[in-house]
Amino acid sequence: MRARLLLRESPDFRRLLGSSTVSLLGSSTTAVALPLTAVTVLQASPWQMGLLSAGGLLPNLLFALPAGVWLSRRPLRRVLVATDLAQAVLSAAVPVLAVLDVLRLWQLGVVVVLAGTCSLFDAVAAESLTPAVVPRADLLTANGLRALSSSTVGTSGNAVAGLLVSLLTAPLALLVDAVSFVVSALWRRRLTVDGRTASSGPVEREPLRRLAARGVTVLWREPALRWTTLAATAGALAGAVQNVVLVLFLARELHLPDVGVGLVVAVAGAAGIVGALVGPAVTTRCGSGRTFLLGMLLTGLAGLVLAAATGPWAVVVALLVAGQALRGVGPAFFGMNQQTLRQTLVPAEHLPQALATWRLLVHGVQPVGALVGGVLGAAVGLRWTLVAGSVLLLLATAAATRPLVGPPPRR
């Protein structure tokens, strides 16, 4: 009811949510079509695919802090429109080059890095703009709707992407993403809130290093923000450790057929939708801190449940479904609540810098986690690698429990 009321009474949030959903749907096509373009059209090797994957994360390491500083002094609505249009051009460039038969792997790498940069600016700007278009009391509901949108698109988008690739070929399917970004830009252009988080003035002449450090200071000074950020960083590291071995575990250890692997993976997406639907109600009852911890706990237990999958097939299937359900519900719970805590506790003028710092930490550890997961998988086995990731998640949850069990402090 509250979500329906928010959508009806806040046209700007409706536009922001709708534009994000449309672009996410298009990007789910790119998530399938771009790697297939590299593999099937350009004959990319495994290490070249690794470089492409790393290229998408590289902007978070190089540009996150400068992006937060820059966005704190810019009208966010214009940034959102500009990033959409830039990503539309980048997405359209690949099929054009492919049709002209001049597409090369290095060009695809440039597109990935530039698109990753645009995605960084877009994500920080969109989350920073949300408190300007949504009343503080409705931030949890708004973040729940964003999580629901992401989970729904993530569950259905890959299937649609596979169909589009089979109909259009991988390079031409990227045109769908280009169109989605244009639609998103037109929608965001209608936002009535400019989204400037601070007025221009002497603060703009502060050294970049001091402005960038402010994001770190804001996150570290407030205990709730400090511990959710540290726990989320550990969770991202552990999640990357597990993600790199999960499909291998299902296919090689449990000998599931391809369709079985796909169905097991899809369970997490469906559970994510459920988590996004019930998350706001759970948070209202338990509080943001406790629900964040509950999400971390469920996600940590998921790896242990998956690792226990052995014995009769009925038991294996039940444990796989249960583990993936936990992997879906848990991130929905802690994701929406850490967003709400940041948007509630960080002053608007510092929110872009704080968000950029968070992305630097959380996204920055994921390549490290993938590397560690690969090494552990080879050294101790796939099952024990899942256990190791869960142990790290549960330790992070335990460390954050005491600071977060109380009610979130007010500014």
- Name all domains of the chain by residue range, CATH numbers in brackets: 2-193 (1.20.1250.20), 212-404 (1.20.1250.20)
The tokens for 309 are: 């999958």
Q: Give the residue ranges of DSSP H helices in 134-222.
A: 139-168, 170-189, 208-221
Q: Write the pLDDT tens digit of every residue in 117-139.
A: 999 999 899 888 888 888 888 88
Minimum mean pLDDT range among 39-53, 224-238, 357-371 = 39-53
Mean pLDDT score of the chain: 86
- Angstrom CA distances, 20 to 126, 150, 184, 314, 388, stand at 9, 9, 7, 40, 35
Q: Which residue has the higher pLDDT, 173 or 329?
A: 329
Q: Residue range 51-59: average pLDDT?
A: 79
The tokens for 384 are: 């024990």
Q: What is the pLDDT of residue 360?
A: 86
Q: What is the pLDDT of residue 303?
A: 95
Q: Write the pLDDT tens digit of every residue in 307-349.
A: 999 989 999 999 999 999 999 999 999 999 998 888 888 888 7
Alpha carbon 255 to chain centroid, angstroms: 30
Judge residue 53's burial from the number of C-beta atoms within 10 Å of its C-beta, 0-12 exposed, 13-18 middle, 19 or more buried. Answer: middle
Q: What is the pLDDT of residue 200?
A: 41
pTM above 0.85, yes or no: no
> What does the H/E/C string look like for 78-106?
HHHHHHHHHHHHHHHHHHHHHHCCCCCHH
Q: Hey, what amino acid is at 52?
A: L
